[in-house]
Each structure stands twice: as C-alpha cells, then as structure tokens.
Amino acid sequence: MIQIGSKKVGQGYPTYMIAEAGINAGNSLDIAKQLASIAKKAKCNAVKFQTFKTTEIQFPNITYDETVELKKYCDEIGITFLSTPHSITAVDFLFPLVPAYKIASSFITNDYFIKRVRVKGKPVIVSTGSITHESKRATKEEVNHFLSVVNSSNLALLYCVSSYPCYNLDPDEFSEFLDEYSSYPVGISCHSPEIDYSLEAVELGACIVEKHITLDKNFDCVDKKVSIPPEKLEQLVEEIKMIDEEKGNV
C-alpha cells in the first residue's frame, strides 16, 4: 500500500483513477484547466500532466509558471495534481507541487534520474513500457534493476505496453505481472482508445488505472489515438466503481 495525498492505494482499496491529460493541452493553460475539470467531473482521483525543461521543450507544453497556476487550479476544484518530470530540473521543480512522482517508461533504466527522484522521499509510480523492445514492455531484468536502484517500498508499478494505440490486454501476461510484483500496488497505464482494456485489468486486480483523456475525439491533440473523451471517462470511472463494490473495495 502507498498513500497519495489522503488516499490509500493498493489491494483492498478503491481503484485509484488517474486521468492522463499528458501533452494533450498543448501549450494552452486554458485547455489544461478544462482537462482538469473534466477529470474532476468524472470523479477521478488525480489528473496528470507532463513537465519538460522550459528551455528544451520537446513537445507543445505549458510553462513552469503556468504549471504552478494549474496546480493552484487543481487545488481549488479539489483534484490531485500530478505531473511526469522529463528532466532533473523538472524533478526539482515539481517537488513542492506533487504528492507523488510518476516516472515514465523511458526513464526506467536511467539510474541517475531514478536516484534524484528517490532522494525526494515521495511515493513513486512507474510505468513499465518500452520503445526499445519488440514487446513494447520493459524486461523483468530492467524492472528489477529499477527496483534495486529506487530501493523503496513506497512504490507502485504500472503494467504498460508502449504501443500507440494498444488495443488488447493480454490477461495472462498481466496476471503474471501482478503475481511477480504482488508486494507492490500494481496498476495499468492504458494506451487503448477504448475502456474495455482498463476494465479488464481492474477485474484481474489492477488497483491503479492511468487513462489518457482529451476534450473530444475530434480535438487535434498529440495523443488523440490513445485518448478517450469526457463521456467515456465518466463511464470508465462509474464501471470501475461497480467492480470495486463487487470486490468489497469501498
């Protein structure tokens, strides 16, 4: 079990739902706020963005000053603000803003980056995808190496297939992942444009779901192929709640 803000996350607790706004806001603070509001309306626990160096932005993204304003807005509407750092500078910048760090799949083998996150002492959520392997998943050796470097039990692991989009969950593969890392909260970072993948993962035992969102499917966003619109997000959260109730995770 880990704790993110006031919420306990792990087996036996309600599924922790993260709406992944990512870089779908582009460089618009207004759109970022709209995405946060969508996540709040759908009753997600958190909304997550991504933070790059302001001097080395690789994708359209809001500035550091706008990120601070966005954090304040999330506090005002009552939803947890999260953001994935994509540089050491971003790790330091986000420290006072986030209750937990999210590490992207691309940093799972970056020991220097992982150690910088570790010394901050916050809970860590890590995605275990990969763009360097045919499976689009980190190997068991890579995940175990990450665990040895981060050296913390205050940690959650997200099963992730780095295909954009990824349509189907392999239930046997996911169940094996759950069993292998049963001493940690295990969830899923879902790159499907539908909700069935996430629901199946929760049925099997995922206690965290990270799902990409967009204003609507016609909106020209970077992650359009892996995102769901507001009405689908609300449906996903409601159906996850029903699964939790059936399991007694309330």
What's the pLDDT at 54?
55
- b/e 113-135 (16+ beta carbons within 10 angstroms → b): bbebbbeeebbbbbbbbbeeeee
pTM, 2 dp? 0.96
What's the pLDDT at 244?
98
- b/e 18-50 (16+ beta carbons within 10 angstroms → b): bbbbbbbbbeebebbbebbbbbbebebbbbbbb
What's the pLDDT at 60?
64
Ranges under pLDDT 70 in the chain = 53-60, 217-222
What's the pLDDT at 168?
87
Residue 85: other Cβ atoms inside 10 A: 25
C-alpha to C-alpha distance for 97 and 155, rounded to whole angstroms: 18
CATH 3.20.20.70 fits 2-247, yes or no: yes
**How are beta strands 7-9 and 2-4 bridged, if at all?**
antiparallel
**Residue closest to 12 by CA, chosen among 155, 172, 185:** 185
Q: Where are the domains of the chain?
A: 2-247
